[in-house]
Structure 1
Amino acid sequence: MNKFGSTKSLLLVSAAIAGFATPAFAQDTAAERAGEPEARERPNEIVVTARRTEESLSDVPISVAAYSQESLDEQGVRNIDDIANITPGVTLTRGDQRNAGAANIAIRGISSTAGSATTGIYIDDTPIQIRNIGFSAFTPFPAVFDLQRVEVLRGPQGTLFGAGSQGGTVRFITQQPNLNYVEAYGRGELAFTQGGDPSYEMGAAVSVPLVEGKVAGRVSGYFRRDGGYIDRVNYINGNIEDENSNHSDTVVLQGALAIEPTENLTIRPSIFYQDIDIADGNYYWEDLSDIDDGDFRNGNALANTSSDRLLLPALAIELDLGPVALFSNTSYFDRSQNAVNDYTVFESSLWARNPFFPAGYFAPAFQDNQQANFTQELRLQSNDPDSRFSWVVGGFYSRNKQTAAQLVQNTFLPQQIMDNFGITIEQFFGQGLIDGKYTFVLDDAESVDEQIAGFGQVDFQVTDELSLTAGLRVSSTKFDVNAQFVGPVVGPPVDDTGSQSETPITPKFGISYQPDDDHLFYATAAKGFRIGGYNPAVGLPCGVSQGAPIPGTPLGNIGLSDRPELYESDSVWSYEVGSKNSLFGNSVNVEASAFLIKWDNIQQNVGLACGFAFTDNLGSATSKGFDVAFSALVTDNLTLGGQVGYVDAKLDETVSAGPSAPLNLVTEGDAISLNPWQVTLNGQYDYDMLGQEGYTRFDYKFQSKQNDLTPGLNPLNGGADLQLLPRQELHLLSLRTGVKTDLLDISLFVNNVFNTHKRLFRQRDVQFSPLFRATSPRPRTGGVTVTVRY
């Protein structure tokens, strides 16, 4: 579609939204003149800070999905997977066989596992996303407990949230102490998964005024065990090695103070701690499993374990200066993630072209990722609600230190080399194993991302109904990295240091029209970016050694004698129109938006021989679609709601390399992996139950199948097409019924009512391997939840 056609489509969608809302507005006005009852309060209205100031969700000219603590509990949300399940436009993939805890999140099709993150992840005002400098780095996500709300901001947020918020931002807002009242919150749950172990959780939070009106404290603790449902077996004889091996434990501890020494000053020190331990990965071997019957098995030689600990102390200060307010956030994010991952199948497939390793063979990879991030942000913003100018200006500084290390052992590599090529490992590689026994790869990288930025945004109320928005962020970024690679597959040891720097500029423009409190129409154009970087030198390119081919793509095959040292930032321009409308006396609320995103200079990985890779700027992509959210108070007892999202994301051009037979690194028309249509529906019926408030609700999710499979070569996986199955159509239904008192909410629930086992993700280790591994939703799970609010 050309630019004129895209713009025309967006305008038509905007006109359709306006046409839908305007008659209802006229009817409401007539009803008021006729003396009918006043409009009801909007159901589930929520206050957000998507524009760095408190506003009702219906007044924010941005596509935002926001969930309060109550709505998260009602829908049984426990983690980022559940948030993605209820939020169209958000794709979460758990399928990285290199790390049991790995997850990749994308908003509106802006998805990449190369370089820096494309989605900003925040705990309060602190960004915690990670850069991929190793082979197993992934962004952490907080568990969903004792949160005030979760905000999902769709589209680039480069002006107010900076680098990494290229496709959008997910914000986890924690609960704050109450200066005047004692508050308490608790949640317990026991659940049983079909074919698996029980799951259970217990958590409690309490807020107490220490000096009424001046000092308050809040503490919380939470533990959750997710029972496993995949057996790890001996693939040769079928014996179970570890029943329901993929269980995990989550611990969260939080503490916060609110100190208000004067009416104008609030000081909020806080600390957030989380530890997630995973006993084994969530993928299974298709050949060993009976998927239709829900019997899931994997034949790994070793369990894929993961331990992910994070600590976030922060200090937030708010100073009310009358016409302006000053805000400061200082934080230090410390994270340690360790994993033991089973490379036995991968190594056997790579060197022997046979994934089925002999008994007693194993190849563990010990992987370690560390983050130490210091962040400081200062904001000065207007504080006069009657002024036609509303503005915010600020400064941001961050220094993010990251390390990634990997040690890979192989108990059978020398024998495989001898069996398959008739030569010793020393003859094959030119050197032996590092320790002369097992270790054949040792990777170690350390990087520092440093960023300083100034930003500002102003909203000018031209008339009482019409408002204009303009924003700008100017960043100065620098990336330094030092990497060492040692081992037979590396060749001569690599020890390389390099840096990259640039000055990205991200503007934003918007216009909104709000004729009354019930209707808002808006259009925005915004830019987002993520930081570029430096590629450390790769090992000696392998093509043919001693006459024996080594699988992979040598540099020479793509016309290079060396990797590109630098890769630049990539960027998106997003164009969006939307509306937020309250109809029929606030009985129906509709939020809709349509978008067109142009993604240029995309950072992508190019896989090379012997496991090496580099990042380069390859091609461009277009993502377009829409999302609609609605809630309706059908009767005093029945509430219905839902969201519909559609995303179509494809690469715009072919990028080829190679001196003779060109290799397509990316191909025009290839689809970015996602489910184009996402629909969520929910409904709740409230009724009297023995004098208490009873309720029954349903939550349903539909994902359409991916029609366009990215064919051929995939630079993310060593030049091989490994994900040979498009994303499948998915239907998930959850039911919950319970009773509420002033203090308690006790409910029974069933998730995945139809016990669907559709594959969420499927791939194989190397192109010629016959072994496929996949993930599916957790099987049917039922249980009881008890929630306490005081």
Structure 2
Amino acid sequence: MLKASQRGNAPSVGFTAKAWSLSSSVAISAFLLSCPASATAQPFDTPSHAAPSAGQVAEGSDLGESTDIIVTARKQSERLIDVPQSVTAVSGADLVRLNATQFRDFANTLPGLQFTTSGAGQTQVNIRGVTTGTSGSQTVGIYIDDVPYGASTSYAQAGQLALDQGLFDLDHVEVLRGPQGTLYGASALGGVIKYVPNAPDTGEFGGTGQVGISSTRHGGTSYNGSGAVNVPIATDRAAVRVGGYYSRDGGFADNVALGSKNVDRSRVYGARIDLLVKPTDRLSIRLVGTGQNVRREGRGTIDYNFDRRPRYGDLQQNRLVPEAFDQNFRLASGTLSYDFGGAELTSISSYQTVRSVVRLDYSALFVPLLSAAAGIPLRSIGVRLDPKTDKFVQEVRLQSAGKGTFEWLVGGFYTDEDSNSKQLITGTNPNGTPFPLAILDVQLPAKYKELAAFGNLTTNLTDKLSVTGGIRYAHNKQRFAQTGGGLLGAATPARKSDENVTTWLASAQYRFSPDANIYARYATGYRPGGPNAVANNPTTGLPLAQPTFEADRLKNYEVGFKGQTADRKFAIDLAGYRIDWSNIQLVVTRNGLSLISNASGGARIWGSELTITARPTRDITVTGAFGYTDATLTAADADLGARKGERLPDVPKFTAAVTADYALSDVSIKPRFGATVRFVSDRQTSFDASPNSPQYDLGDYVTVDLRAGISVGGFDAQLFARNLFDVRGQLSGDARLSLAGGPVQVAVLQPRTLGVSVSKRF
């Protein structure tokens, strides 16, 4: 149960009481709360020929080899085919062959995974349709190894600033579908994306290097490079792995207002140092330091009308204020593992900082709003958001070793997070000089602490049948306030909340053979509730709107089948599910104040995912990945402007990615050729009668990629063509500016891009 308290002596003004000021504040607050100031993969053990279509083989395997895929979805190393839930793994080798440098380069080929974006670093991710559109807090947990990334609440716009991890020196990426509440905790309603870097090797010196260059039609030149080296310090006892990467995206969007070309050009660069020490055969210590910077000069969105035609021309936008984006991410972690013989103890400690600066042009919305409501004539209005998070996480778990009648895991989790989002809105006069007053100048300091205990128990009833039960109990405390002011803002009372949440897991698996099994899974997940910063009634001293909001909850029912033939020439991974999502968190307006509330109704999602791989000969691989998602509301909701049965936004009903690859493996010079065809069905950006963002139809699209490469003497070279037919597929859209006659800002597929890459492993 959520409880709230407040400081008695805190300011009680909130927003100014004048009608024009209140209405402007509501519009601005709703905007700020609801935005950041906003591969196909083969199942199981098939060999990898191209990425992401064959993302299931361990990195470093030669073409033509079949190796077991090892994942850590259940926080233990096991074969992918043995995990009783829907999981996809995309190997690091496949990401290299795909020339993937950003999340967008592989995400839209994985069934059940969707995203909205306005450029590197500004991405919202959802899995299995668990979204109501723009959201302040995330519904998908993002991990680097076992470390959760970013804020757990909506106060630092975590949902809109998903980690765009540089895709270098990775062992693989895991995508876990469905709620992962028992092992991964808060904000994993839809699932988890887990980046798993290559670990140091204490036995052998080695490394990798890669460079690439490409040209985008109507855009700029992109290039990237990365390298990593593994150095054993003491054979079988210690090693260090060091690497770095730099990626420049040339962009393709032109700003006609400022006469700037390719304003969405960006740079993503970073480094990692990873030290592994094994003092004894039982004890392992791993220390990792990593950092990444994102620099982007503008948003990668194009201005469209509601008839889906560009307003200013192909790949054109009109922004009076430059929309640069900067982000710095730093992470230090330490993992200690000790093998007691019958059980293994693991402790993971981490500290991270995330600093983002988001700049947006909202002249098209706020200039007419302030002119009509307040009589303030302005030329332009710019928004700057500075969300930041400092996060300490400690997890300790003890789990059984080996296979037996009972396999168990117990653990504890603690996080201490400090976040703050400075929000500044400034304007310019009609003559271009700065408006003398800040329209809004506030800070939103927040504190989040969570303590949790969790456990899983698997009982192997026979050598074929096993059942698993899991539970997690979490308690969190939060504090949130608004300080500052500006023309339309003011301080609000500091408020607190505390909340207890329990999540559950139950699954059963029957193994027909080591290469085929069927499973059933029930799991729950949640997002934390929290306090709202709302003004007090000056007469009664009571809050003018609800002081807190509660956690939303999700239940997932799933059945699946995984199988492959003994010769691994054919494999199938099929899952069907139903999701019941209740108490959904929404941005609403109450008594003229913008805040987060819980929907009285809920949503129901039916869906399925199918991945099929056929390998008729040693040199030919064909993979198809298909997804179906029917996500609808179970009740009408006035805050959303939605009717009962209406589809959730940004969720395609059908997705498909089919890949074919041919690679010679029995010759010293190994050529290869491949193609990928992707289909995404139509989506809408919001609900039919949304009061905050009119509905825009994104339509469907089909795109084709080609690649041809050669491997010789440890070198791998590849020519590639992305979006061969230069399709303007629309990924996501923001129609809030259209409330005042502005355009719909649409993120589109990268235009046709031709490039070459060369990599070397030594």
TM-score (norm 2): 0.86
Match among 47, 50, 68 for residue 91 of structure 2: 68
Partner of 2:52: none
Task: Determine if the alignment matches structure 1 residue 133 to structure 2 residue 151.
Answer: no
Aligned length: 689
Per the alignment, do residues 82 and 580 of structure 1 end up closer, same or farther by CA in structure 2, a change over 3 Å counting?
same
Task: Determine if the alignment matches structure 1 residue 695 to structure 2 residue 672.
Answer: yes
Aligned residues of 2:121 and 2:162 also touching (Cα < 8 A): no
Which aligned pairs between 1:140-155 and structure 2 lie closer than 5 A? Answer: 140-155=163-178
Task: Determine if the alignment matches structure 1 residue 678 to structure 2 residue 663.
Answer: no
The residue identity in structure 2 corresponding to 1:672 is L
Match among 175, 190, 199 for residue 198 of structure 2: 175
- Which residues of structure 2 form unaligned runs of 5+? 1-62
Aligned residues of 1:703 and 1:730 also touching (Cα < 8 A): yes
Task: Determine if the alignment matches structure 1 residue 342 to structure 2 residue 361.
Answer: yes
Instruction: State the Cα distance separating 1:382 from its structure 2 match.
Output: 0.5
Distance in 2, Cα, partners of 1:268 & 1:654 = 51
Distance in 2, Cα, partners of 1:208 & 1:217 = 5
Distance in 1, Cα, partners of 2:157 & 2:186 = 22
The residue identity in structure 1 corresponding to 2:581 is W
The residue identity in structure 2 corresponding to 1:668 is K
The residue matched to 1:83 in structure 2 has which SS?
A: helix
Partner of 1:738: 709
Per the alignment, do residues 761 and 133 of structure 1 end up closer, same or farther by CA in structure 2, a change over 3 Å counting?
same
The residue identity in structure 1 corresponding to 2:143 is Y
The residue matched to 1:72 in structure 2 has which SS?
A: helix
The residue matched to 2:181 in structure 1 has which SS?
A: coil
Distance in 1, Cα, partners of 2:98 & 2:109 = 9
Partner of 2:428: 411
Deviations 1:686-736 (A, max 9, x none): 137984011011122111113x7754433xxxx2342x3223111121111
Partner of 1:481: 480
The residue identity in structure 1 corresponding to 2:475 is S
Match among 118, 123, 138 for residue 144 of structure 2: 123
Deviations 1:611-643 (A, max 9, x none): 944333442100111001122212121111121
Deviations 1:108-142 (A, max 9, x none): 01125445321100011111133322678623231
Which aligned pairs between 1:466-545 and structure 2 lie closer than 5 A? Answer: 466-490=465-489, 493-538=490-535
Aligned residues of 2:305 and 2:311 also touching (Cα < 8 A): no
Instruction: State the Cα distance separating 1:773 from its structure 2 match.
Output: 2.3
Distance in 2, Cα, partners of 1:320 & 1:584 = 34
Partner of 1:776: 748
The residue identity in structure 1 corresponding to 2:125 is I
Which aligned pairs between 1:640-659 and structure 2 lie closer than 5 A? Answer: 640-656=622-638
Distance in 1, Cα, partners of 2:509 & 2:65 = 21
Which aligned pairs between 1:161-560 and structure 2 lie closer than 5 A? Answer: 161-234=184-257, 241-286=259-304, 295-352=314-371, 361-385=379-403, 387-412=404-429, 437-490=436-489, 493-538=490-535
Per the alignment, do residues 702 and 436 of structure 1 end up closer, same or farther by CA in structure 2, a change over 3 Å counting?
closer
Instruction: State the Cα distance separating 1:302 from its structure 2 match.
Output: 1.7
Per the alignment, do residues 664 and 465 of structure 1 end up closer, same or farther by CA in structure 2, a change over 3 Å counting?
closer
Aligned residues of 1:489 and 1:539 also touching (Cα < 8 A): no
Deviations 1:483-542 (A, max 9, x none): 12513323xx2232111111111111011000211211000111111110111015999x
Partner of 1:566: 548
Percent of residue pairs bearing the same amino acid type: 27
Instruction: State the Cα distance separating 1:292 from its structure 2 match.
Output: 12
Deviation larger for 639-648 or 762-771: 762-771
The residue matched to 1:346 in structure 2 has which SS?
A: helix
Instruction: State the Cα distance separating 1:50 from its structure 2 match.
Output: 0.6
Distance in 1, Cα, partners of 2:369 & 2:555 = 41
Aligned residues of 1:618 and 1:666 also touching (Cα < 8 A): no
Aligned residues of 1:508 and 1:527 also touching (Cα < 8 A): yes
Per the alignment, do residues 600 and 627 of structure 1 end up closer, same or farther by CA in structure 2, a change over 3 Å counting?
same
- Which residues of structure 1 form unaligned runs of 5+? 1-39, 235-239, 417-432, 542-559, 657-662
Per the alignment, do residues 273 and 83 of structure 1 end up closer, same or farther by CA in structure 2, a change over 3 Å counting?
same
Partner of 1:50: 73
Match among 603, 606, 614 for residue 624 of structure 1: 606
Distance in 1, Cα, partners of 2:473 & 2:157 = 31
The residue matched to 1:696 in structure 2 has which SS?
A: strand
Aligned residues of 2:686 and 2:696 also touching (Cα < 8 A): no
Distance in 1, Cα, partners of 2:497 & 2:537 = 24
Partner of 2:59: none
The residue identity in structure 2 corresponding to 1:528 is G
Instruction: State the Cα distance separating 1:407 from its structure 2 match.
Output: 1.1
The residue identity in structure 2 corresponding to 1:452 is L
Per the alignment, do residues 631 and 537 of structure 1 end up closer, same or farther by CA in structure 2, a change over 3 Å counting?
same
Distance in 1, Cα, partners of 2:581 & 2:203 = 49
Instruction: State the Cα distance separating 1:187 from its structure 2 match.
Output: 1.3
The residue identity in structure 1 corresponding to 2:499 is E
Task: Determine if the alignment matches structure 1 residue 107 to structure 2 residue 127.
Answer: yes
Aligned residues of 2:364 and 2:742 also touching (Cα < 8 A): no
Deviations 1:74-106 (A, max 9, x none): 2332222223212110110015xxx98421110
Partner of 1:37: none
Per the alignment, do residues 352 and 713 of structure 1 end up closer, same or farther by CA in structure 2, a change over 3 Å counting?
farther
Task: Determine if the alignment matches structure 1 residue 88 to structure 2 residue 106.
Answer: no
Task: Determine if the alignment matches structure 1 residue 785 to structure 2 residue 757.
Answer: yes
Distance in 1, Cα, partners of 2:252 & 2:285 = 46
The residue identity in structure 2 corresponding to 1:162 is G
The residue matched to 1:505 in structure 2 has which SS?
A: strand
Instruction: State the Cα distance separating 1:287 from its structure 2 match.
Output: 6.4
Deviation larger for 298-307 or 131-140: 131-140
The residue matched to 2:289 in structure 1 has which SS?
A: strand
The residue matched to 1:261 in structure 2 has which SS?
A: coil
Aligned residues of 2:421 and 2:444 also touching (Cα < 8 A): yes
Instruction: State the Cα distance separating 1:582 from its structure 2 match.
Output: 0.9
Per the alignment, do residues 71 and 310 of structure 1 end up closer, same or farther by CA in structure 2, a change over 3 Å counting?
same
The residue matched to 1:634 in structure 2 has which SS?
A: strand
Per the alignment, do residues 756 and 767 of structure 1 end up closer, same or farther by CA in structure 2, a change over 3 Å counting?
same
Partner of 1:426: none
Aligned residues of 2:126 and 2:190 also touching (Cα < 8 A): yes
TM-score (norm 1): 0.83
Distance in 1, Cα, partners of 2:593 & 2:743 = 19
The residue identity in structure 1 corresponding to 2:328 is R
Per the alignment, do residues 100 and 339 of structure 1 end up closer, same or farther by CA in structure 2, a change over 3 Å counting?
farther
Deviations 1:578-597 (A, max 9, x none): 01011363210101100000
The residue identity in structure 1 corresponding to 2:139 is T
Distance in 1, Cα, partners of 2:475 & 2:253 = 47
Aligned residues of 1:538 and 1:612 also touching (Cα < 8 A): no
Instruction: State the Cα distance separating 1:767 from its structure 2 match.
Output: 2.1
Per the alignment, do residues 628 and 43 of structure 1 end up closer, same or farther by CA in structure 2, a change over 3 Å counting?
farther
